Amino acid sequence: MQYKELQSKGVDELKKLIREKRKALRLFRFGSAGSRTKNVKEGRNLRRDIARILTKVTEKSS
């Protein structure tokens, strides 16, 4: 997800997106524990997306 895409979204939409990304990260972690994961870069990308969204939420709320 690009940072430019986040600029047009509201705080509620961003919070919903954070919940979805965190759920996906949780599923990724449990999938990798059972070695079902094929794309190992997905975890890093999910963490970075969450950080971008949290940064945007902080900017919009202050």
Query: What is the value of pTM for the model shown?
Result: 0.83
**How many separate domains does the chain show?**
1
| Closest listed residue to residue 2, CA positions, set 37, 55, 49, 36 | 49
Q: What is the mean pLDDT of residues 15-41?
A: 85
Q: How confident is residue 16, by pLDDT bands cut at 50, 70 and 90?
A: very high
Residues 25 and 50: beta-carbon distance below 8 Å: yes
Q: Give residue 41's domain range.
A: 3-61
Looking from the CA of 37 toward its CB, the CA atoms found within 13 Å total 17
Q: Which residue has the tokens 């965190």?
A: 22
Query: What's the chain's average pLDDT?
Result: 88
Model confidence over 31-53: pLDDT tens digits? Answer: 766 666 678 889 999 999 999 99
From first CA to last CA, the distance across the chain in angstroms is 23
Q: Which residue has the tokens 């945007």?
A: 56
